[in-house]
Amino acid sequence: MASVSVVIPTLNEAKNLPWVLRRMPSYVDEVVIVDGRSEDNTIEVAKALRSDVVVVQERRKGKGVAVRSGFAASSGDIIVMLDADGSMDPQEIGWFVSPLQHDYDFVKGSRYVTGGGSEDLTRLRNVGNRALTGLANVVLHSNYSDLCYGYIAFRRECLEVLELESDGFEIETELIVRAARAGLRIAEVPSIELDRISGASNLQTFRDGWRVLGTMARECTMWEAPTAGARPEALRRVKYAYANVRFPRTPTDPQSVLTVVGGA
C-alpha cells in the first residue's frame, strides 16, 4: 500500500501550523517540516502537535532549497508539497493523491478549474499568473490553467527524472515545466486558496514574477529531460502500483473533475 509524505517549508509559522497540522488527514504517513531559520517557536509547535514529525533545519535561504531538502528527507511513495501559512487546506490532499493511484505521475492544484478558487488572489497577481500560464502553454504545448500555485503531489520516482535545482519560489515553475518536458502524465485538480492565517507572505509579485519568467525561459531552452520527452519506463512499470484505494475522495471525487494537461 502506497505511503504518503507531506513536505511543508516553514519560516516563522508557529501561529499557522496548528490549523495546518490538525487538518492533516489520518492517511498521511509522514509530515516533514523544513524550517528556514525561524525566530519563533515553529519547531516546538510542530513537535507538540505531531510527535512523529520529521524536522529538517535548513540554514540556506530560499523556498526551493527548503523544498528540495524536504523531498530528500521524505520516505513516502507519494510526496505532497504544501505551504504552512493556512492558504492550502490539507483536507484537499485526497484530491491530489487519488489520481496517482491510477495512470498519473504528477498532480497539481488549480484555482481556475471548476471547484477551485482563491480568497487571496489580487487583481495584479491574477493578471500576471494568467499571462505566465498562457506563455507556458504556448511554449510547452500544454493545457495548464494555473502555473504559479505550489500545491503539488507526485510519485517518488519522478524525483530522479525532474533533477530539481531551483533555490527560490521559482521551484514551483521548475517542477511544472520539467514535468511537462519529461513526458510525465500530469493532471490538474481543483484547489481553493485561502487567506493566510497570520503573518506576511515572503512572495513579492514583481521580483518573483520575473524570476518565474526567467526560470521558464531557461528551462524551455536549456534543460534536457533525461527521458527525451517520453514518459519514463520506470513510471510506466508502476502504472497500477498504487491502485489500492485508501484515500478518501473529498469533498468531491477528483476523478470527475481532474483535467489532463500533459504526458504520453
Tally the domains of the chain.
1
- State pLDDT tens for residues 76-126: 999 999 999 999 999 999 999 999 988 899 999 999 999 999 987 777 777
Higher pLDDT, 44 or 167: 44
Mean pLDDT of 55-83: 96
* Residue 63 confidence (pLDDT): 92
- State pLDDT tens for residues 154-174: 999 999 999 999 988 889 889
Residues of the chain above pLDDT 70, percent = 77
Q: Which of 179, 170, 12, 194 is nearest to 79 (CA)?
A: 179
pLDDT value at 193 more than 70: yes
pLDDT value at 22 more than 60: yes
CA 177 to chain centre: 13
* Residue 239 confidence (pLDDT): 47
- State pLDDT tens for residues 226-263: 765 556 555 654 444 444 434 444 444 544 456 667 66
Query: For cell 488527514, what's the residue?
Result: 25
Higher pLDDT, 9 or 141: 9
CA 65, 205, 208, 220 torsion: positive or negative? positive
What residue numbers bound the domain in which 24 lies? Answer: 4-241+250-262
| CA-CA-CA-CA dihedral for 165, 171, 175, 180, to nearest 10 | -100
Please report, for the domain that includes residue 158, its CATH number.
3.90.550.10
